[in-house]
Structure 1
């Protein structure tokens, strides 16, 4: 028998603060802040903490949960944990949620568990739906460009997945301008609703501006959702006093290394932190606000290790504008 005292009931005021932005020219809207399951939702993480983070996020109006087939570790475990959360807490709210997943990186052994073949994408989504205990996802992404599989094959698979009802919209992740242009062309001919490109973007990583994809997506009516907006934690106050023992850099994981924190980078972080204080924000809040400063990015994906971080980050929706002087200062600080 269910413990009535622990049955989750979403906060009635959950839509009062959050802003929702249209995704490209589609009818879908993303919350300005979305919750990513890349870290802290795997088999080695605390399930009760995951539950509290997801409850906190939804109570604050975060309606999008972003996953991928190989998020963990171990592969698939973030989706499996989400499936448990879905059954225990979020089933009554399914129609209020945007749930996404992806396939494109290494997932299982052999030649059919990676990249962008039709066989891999379709099998992967079927596995993902079983793990997440869902009939469909709102967006299914191809997770990375595949130089060996014809893009027509990959896009046809996405179109057929949407047509089957297993996904409502198609998206891509880590696609450059050339691949995005081709994807737009192919999916337009296939009458498939292709609405979003998920790319890395932060004050410290301007690749989507440099390769032209940010401008192109705006013109083509494709939304952009930004991941790693805090540059793997560098755009926070975490490293102002050195490297904490529990930080990602201390663990020297494959995405962030001690060598990334050069003297110049530490100087930039300190100066940006001072500017954030002048704005009445934390460095993390200012960094998220900066990504959302114009309408070319419809949402920022945050990672979190505890509910308090979500509460801190959500307040940015009240302050995403910058003065010309502030923007110039940020550019000057970030110059290399």
Structure 2
């Protein structure tokens, strides 16, 4: 059945300007890190993508090694894009990344010009696209000069294969350094994608911290894992379900679900209930809260079903917090070990 997008798709989604650039992103973007590989129904993927766009989610975020297996998410997305979304290409922001391991040998990971540009070509081929809207370096690489990495991003944009360039999981110091190099080359970075949640607040630490560095650099922030790999949902309030990420060892260590941490989750759940929200909805709203010039532009959310997507989009109904609510949330925020990507930032800061 031919897909025709909902006529009212832009009526309820807020769009926020990305730093000092002219690009706007939806407050909630769809991340394809999980649930879009070959282990997941292509029809379910199609339904989620269609419904997201019908609800005003114009940004789909991918990476070269999303799957399983590596590359399959981009391939599956490409199939769906060709069938459903090609007429809407100019209304979509599609992003991809390279930096983590992708293929064997010395040229399939890191931040070298060889890896980044060849990976971008492969990503475009898998997705059937002429260009991506945003191309990221997926992680800092201490073994490659940052000048080489930024030059590769500059070339990606100048070639027309990407419209904008960004970085992910960079420390504040490295963010400022990268932006200076990128600006001198003539292709400023417009976006930083760090992990950030009530339980993982590393971007608030330091002087300057990542939030401050991005404001200074004129960059927007899109936060991934705002639900802390699923901890900030109702899923773990009563233990570890058999089909959960923690039970399967997928990006969430079951050891994090200690009695002490679950007590914090239950307390946060109580605060959410008093706000008329689920724990997940409050966590999303918290990540998007108004912090003045230091606010997050968008959050990346995954979804395993249309219902879960709709539940998460419900966070947009209440983005305001009282000082008392924020103070109470702070009492239960921050859990050691939730930031799985801390080593990447520490190694080059």
| TM-score, with structure 1 as normaliser | 0.97
Q: Matched residues in 2 for 1:268 and 1:200: separation?
A: 20
**Root mean square deviation, CA, Å:** 1.0
Q: How does 1:173-322 map to 2 (within 5 A)?
A: 173-211=168-206, 212-253=209-250, 255-294=251-290, 296-322=295-321
**1:110 aligned counterpart, secondary structure:** coil
- The answer as to 2:148 corresponding to 1:153 is yes
Q: Matched residues in 1 for 2:57 and 2:227: separation?
A: 18
Unaligned runs of 5+ residues in structure 2 are 336-349
Q: Mean alpha-carbon deviation: is it higher for 294-303 or for 33-42? A: 294-303
| Aligned residue in 2 for 1:324 | 323
Deviation at 1:334, TM superposition (A): 2.4
Deviation at 1:333, TM superposition (A): 2.4
| Aligned residue in 2 for 1:80 | 75
**2:190 aligned counterpart, secondary structure:** strand
Deviation at 1:193, TM superposition (A): 3.4
**2:133 aligned counterpart, secondary structure:** strand
Q: Matched residues in 1 for 2:333 and 2:112: separation?
A: 39
| Residues 115-144 of structure 1, C-alpha deviations (whole Å, 9 max, x = no match) | 010010110000000000000000000001
Unaligned runs of 5+ residues in structure 1 are 1-5
Q: Find runs of 4+ consecutive structure 1 residues off by over 3 angstroms.
A: none
Conservation of the 8 A alpha-carbon contact between 2:31 and 2:300: yes
| Residues 40-99 of structure 1, C-alpha deviations (whole Å, 9 max, x = no match) | 000111100000000110000000000000000100000000100111100000000000
Residue-pair matches, total: 330
Distance change in 2, residues 1:59/1:335 (3 Å): closer
Deviation at 1:315, TM superposition (A): 1.8
| Residues 195-222 of structure 1, C-alpha deviations (whole Å, 9 max, x = no match) | 0010000000001111411111112211
| Aligned residue in 2 for 1:99 | 94
Conservation of the 8 A alpha-carbon contact between 2:241 and 2:247: yes
Deviation at 1:179, TM superposition (A): 1.2
| Residues 177-202 of structure 1, C-alpha deviations (whole Å, 9 max, x = no match) | 11101111001101103100100000
